[in-house]
């Protein structure tokens, strides 16, 4: 008997679960879970060996971004993650446009982990920690005392990192707090530097009083990040940043659009609080100008935009070379949340993962295979199951298909056939 036949005889007597070298993608299907005005398109990638991989298109994006990749994946081995990512990454882009590529990458990581029987973070080099710190995004409240109490409630639930909105709405409530060209305050479609909206000293004082009240309630021991400042130009951003520096906020997030590297550098050099951006940036190449210019103190990728688990790990590593920490933006179902967990576990300079659904009573129900509650005392424990470490609870998913706004749905049903996407005809090569 040959050595090969000896090996085959052994394999025949044990359950290997998969033969990774023979694994092939056979299908992709979608279910769009909804909550009010959110939509979470969940991907399933099927294989010839019965293994199914889970991924998710970014919140609010179209499931079609993933389905148009299906014909390019059929027959491929999902464990060849890097090769397939390089094949499809040209079909992604900034903000929601990267959603399909990133969702597929998550599903490939899930399949590879299931094929080899290890957690997905092992394919990103292993873990630096045994749990991932979460911060709970907290809806804005006009009463600063109520805002402080809401944040204090997060602390009582075990969260050790917080975030709140500090926007132009605070200044607008004060007579003479803002000045702006007619109509500009009502639009969200014009880039911040082009609106002409300015915050006055009265508006600045109102924002200071708001944050001071919050800090009086929650204290200074817990990091408190800030977001959603409004569509104001760089000079007003600098005025706000300098005025709020005294409150030792963890970061100022997305004060201006991420594309304006020179303006970010001016902002960073004008205040003593870290400035932060990144949730709309696709691939490491998109982050390099900001990091190379020392224009940010914190990067904040959304894994469902930035390129998936492995690409976001590379982004974090590049930031670490520049002495910059990484937080992760996340506003989806437990599928994309767990993909973020694996990335956070595997990235040394990771700080905290955003959670938007800690007040949602059925969010945990969407998946099984992991301890509940998923977020406990402000942390998610490292999953030890293969792949992402979760499986869908199909009854819970079916119950919440397209809830809230059915106009968002590409597919009204539950992982229905997508045969019309099997043979998309295209010439994909990017060079001549």
Q: Are 119 and 389 in contact (CB under 8 A)?
A: yes
> Hey, how many other C-beta atoms are within 10 angstroms of the C-beta on 19?
11
Q: How confident is the model at residue 413 (pLDDT cuts 50, 70, 90)?
A: confident
Say if residue 35's pLDDT is above 80.
no
> Hey, how many other C-beta atoms are within 10 angstroms of the C-beta on 302?
27
* CB environment 210-248: b (16+ within 10 A), e (fewer): bbeebbebbeeebbbbbbebbbbbbebbbbbbebbeebe
Q: What is the pLDDT of residue 337?
A: 98
Q: What is the pLDDT of residue 8?
A: 62
Task: Give pairs for 8-17: CB < 8 Å, separation 24+.
Answer: 17/114, 17/115, 17/117
Q: What is the pLDDT of residue 230?
A: 94
> Which pLDDT tens digit goes with each residue over 46-90?
999 999 999 999 998 889 999 999 999 999 999 999 999 999 999
Q: What is the pLDDT of residue 13?
A: 47
Q: What is the pLDDT of residue 185?
A: 85
DSSP for 34-69? EETTEEEEEEEEEETTS-EEEEEPPTTS-THHHHTT
Q: What is the pLDDT of residue 425?
A: 78
| Domains within the chain, CATH numbers bracketed | 19-118+395-421 (3.30.390.10), 123-387 (3.20.20.120)
> Which pLDDT tens digit goes with each residue over 167-206?
999 999 999 999 999 988 877 889 999 999 999 999 999 9
> Which pLDDT tens digit goes with each residue over 5-34?
665 654 554 445 579 999 999 999 999 998
Distance of CA 213 to the CA centre of its chain: 30
Say if residue 298's pLDDT is above 50.
yes
CA dihedral 154, 156, 161, 163 (to 10 degrees): 20
* Tokens coding 93: 């882009």
**C-alpha dihedral sign at 126, 127, 128, 134:** positive
Tokens 């963890």 identify what position?
250
Higher pLDDT pick, 3 / 141: 141
Sequence length of the chain is 432
* Tokens coding 176: 């003479």
Say if residue 409's pLDDT is above 80.
no
Tokens 């204090």 identify what position?
152
Q: What percentage of the chain's residues is helix, strand, coil (to nearest 5)? A: 40, 20, 40
> Which pLDDT tens digit goes with each residue over 108-164?
999 999 999 999 999 999 999 999 999 998 999 999 999 999 999 999 999 999 999
Neighbouring residues of 224: CB distance < 8 A, sequence distance ≥ 6:
151, 162, 163, 164, 214, 215, 218, 247, 249, 250
> Hey, how many other C-beta atoms are within 10 angstroms of the C-beta on 377?
11
> Which pLDDT tens digit goes with each residue over 308-363?
999 999 999 999 999 999 999 999 999 999 999 999 999 999 999 999 999 999 99
Strands 350-355 and 131-137: parallel
Q: Percentage of the chain surpassing pLDDT 90? A: 84
Say if residue 405's pLDDT is above 90.
no
């Amino acid at each position: 008997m040959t050595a090969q036949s000896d090996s085959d005889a052994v394999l025949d007597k044990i359950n290997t679960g998969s033969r990774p070298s023979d694994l092939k993608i056979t299908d992709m299907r979608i279910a769009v879970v909804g909550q009010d005005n959110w939509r979470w398109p969940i991907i399933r990638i099927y294989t010839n060996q019965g293994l199914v991989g889970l991924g998710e298109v970014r919140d609010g994006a179209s499931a079609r971004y993933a389905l148009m990749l299906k014909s390019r994946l059929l027959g491929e081995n999902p464990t060849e993650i890097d090769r397939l990512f390089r094949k499809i990454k040209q079909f992604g882009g900034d903000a929601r446009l990267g959603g399909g590529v990133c969702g597929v990458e998550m599903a490939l990581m899930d399949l590879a982990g299931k094929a080899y029987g290890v957690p997905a973070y092992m394919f990103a080099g292993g873990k630096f920690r045994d749990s991932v710190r979460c911060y709970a995004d907290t809806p804005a409240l006009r009463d600063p005392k109520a805002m402080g109490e809401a944040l204090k409630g997060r602390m009582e639930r075990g969260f050790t990192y917080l975030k709140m909105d500090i926007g132009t709405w605070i200044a607008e409530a004060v007579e003479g707090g803002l000045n702006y060209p007619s109509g500009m305050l009502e639009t969200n479609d014009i880039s911040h530097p082009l609106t002409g909206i300015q915050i006055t000293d009265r508006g600045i004082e109102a924002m200071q009083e708001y944050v001071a009240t919050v800090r009086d309630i929650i204290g200074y021991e817990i990091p408190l990040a800030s977001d959603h400042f409004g569509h104001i130009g760089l000079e007003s951003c600098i005025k706000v940043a300098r005025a709020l520096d005294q409150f030792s906020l963890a970061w100022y997030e997305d004060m201006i659009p991420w594309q304006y590297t020179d303006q970010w550098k001016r902002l960073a050099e004008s205040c003593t609080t870290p400035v932060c951006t990144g949730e709309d940036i696709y691939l490491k190449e998109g982050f390099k100008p900001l990091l190379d210019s020392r224009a940010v103190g914190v990067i904040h990728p959304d894994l469902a935009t930035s390129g998936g688990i492995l690409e976001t790990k590379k982004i974090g590593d590049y930031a670490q070379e520049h002495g910059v920490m990484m937080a992760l933006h996340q506003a989806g179902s437990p599928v994309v949340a767990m993909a973020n967990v694996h990335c956070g576990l595997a990235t040394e300079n990771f700080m905290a993962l955003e959670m938007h659904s800690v007040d949602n009573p059925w969010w945990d129900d969407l998946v099984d295979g992991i301890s509940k509650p998923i977020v406990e005392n402000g942390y998610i424990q490292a999953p030890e199951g293969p792949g992402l470490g979760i499986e869908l609870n199909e009854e819970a998913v079916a119950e919440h298909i397209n809830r809230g706004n059915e106009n968002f749905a590409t597919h009204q049903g539950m992982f229905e056939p997508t045969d019309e996407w099997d043979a998309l005809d295209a010439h994909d090569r990017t060079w001549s």
